[in-house]
């Protein structure tokens, strides 16, 4: 069974204080690792897809990286508007997405 | 481009009552998903459609839950009868084949 573990559960940063979120996974036949952002009362918003170890993708202050066992979401110089829950998910050989519980990020001004 | 549309956004019902949720996916997306999300948890897949066909409904509690996707576009998820434990957010998502999924805003169900 595919599994995703995200850490930390919650992270509080000061504006401009860079940090990283972790996503550890076990999957049968990786068909993609996905990062989503979820604001309160809204559905998850797609951020990135990574397919193979060593791959990196960037969007504004966010950068996602992938190894064979984990993925990191690096946040550089965050702003208060980056506050949200960040969800990681893996898609295995059955093409089903398995999500982690998410990391609740709070960025204080 | 319009995103995934869901209605209603909120629903409050008494236990044992029926309830239905509606989803309109992004135009052209042939794959549609229904997820359940409890507070503090990630979404969990209930059912996946490819066009009109339900290709993965292994997580759908079939004694009380049913779903349909007529003409391969809109979809309806129904619960009858609802139980207290069904209180959650029900999310609909769509994708073009198995590319990235795009989610709707969800329906928050409260069962009293």
Copy the structure tokens of residue A106: 């709070």
Cβ pair B56, A96 in contact under 8 A: yes
B53 in A contact zone (CB under 8 Å): no
Residue A9 has pLDDT above 80, yes or no: yes
pLDDT of residue A42: 96
Q: What is the 3-state secondary structure (H, E, C) of A8-70?
A: CCEEEEECCCCEEEEEEEECCCCCCEEEEEECCCCCCEEEEEECCCCCEEEECCEEEEECCCE
pLDDT at B1 over 70: no
Which is more confidently placed, B2 or A45? A45
Q: Give the integer Cα–Cα distance in Å for B14 and B17.
A: 6
The pLDDT confidence band at residue A94, using thresholds 50, 70 and 90, is: confident
**Would you state the pLDDT for residue B7?**
97
CB-CB contact of B103 with A45 (8 Å):
yes
Closest partner residue to B100 (CB to CB) among A4, A43, A46 is: A46
In sequence order, the 6+-apart residues with CB closer than 8 A to the CB of A36 are A44, A45, A46, A47, A86, A87, A88, A89, B103
Question: Mean pLDDT score of chain B, rounded to an integer?
Answer: 95
3-class secondary structure, B90? strand
The proportion of chain A whose per-residue pLDDT surpasses 90, expressed as a percent, equals 94
Residues in chain A: 109
A81 touches chain B (CB under 8 A): no
For chain A, the average pLDDT equals: 96
Residue A39 token pair: 């604001």
Q: Determine the Cα–Cα distance for residues A88 and A3; give it in Å rounded to an integer.
A: 11
Q: Using one digit for the tens of pLDDT, what is the confidence trace for B18-31?
A: 999 999 999 999 99
What per-residue confidence (pLDDT) applies to B70? Answer: 83
Q: With contacts defined as CB-CB under 8 Å, which chain B residues touch A2?
A: none
Question: What is the number of alpha carbons within 13 Å of residue A41 lying toward its C-beta?
Answer: 2
| pLDDT (0 to 100) of residue B98 | 80
Distance CA(A90)–CA(A32), nearest Å, equals: 6
Q: Tens digits of per-residue pLDDT, B46-60?
A: 999 999 999 999 999
């Amino acid at each position: 069974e595919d599994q995703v573990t995200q850490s930390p559960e919650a992270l509080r940063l000061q504006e401009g204080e860079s940090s990283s979120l972790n996503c550890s996974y076990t999957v049968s036949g990786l068909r993609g690792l996905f990062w989503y952002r979820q604001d309160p009362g809204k559905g998850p918003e797609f951020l990135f897809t990574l397919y193979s170890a060593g791959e990196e993708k960037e969007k504004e202050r966010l950068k996602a990286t992938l190894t064979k066992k984990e993925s990191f979401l690096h946040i550089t110089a965050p702003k208060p508007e980056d506050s949200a829950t960040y969800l990681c998910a893996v898609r295995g050989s059955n093409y089903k997405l398995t999500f982690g519980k998410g990391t609740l990020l709070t960025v204080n001004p | 481009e319009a995103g995934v549309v869901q209605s209603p956004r909120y629903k409050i019902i008494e236990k044992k009552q029926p309830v239905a949720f509606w989803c309109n996916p992004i135009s052209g997306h042939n794959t549609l998903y229904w997820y359940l999300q409890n507070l503090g948890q990630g979404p969990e897949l209930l059912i996946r459609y490819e066009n009109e066909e339900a290709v993965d409904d292994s997580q759908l509690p079939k004694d009380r839950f049913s779903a349909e996707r007529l003409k391969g576009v809109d979809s309806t998820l129904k619960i009858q009868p609802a139980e207290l434990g069904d209180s959650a957010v029900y999310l609909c998502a769509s994708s073009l084949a198995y590319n990235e999924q795009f989610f709707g805003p969800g329906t928050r169900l409260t069962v009293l």
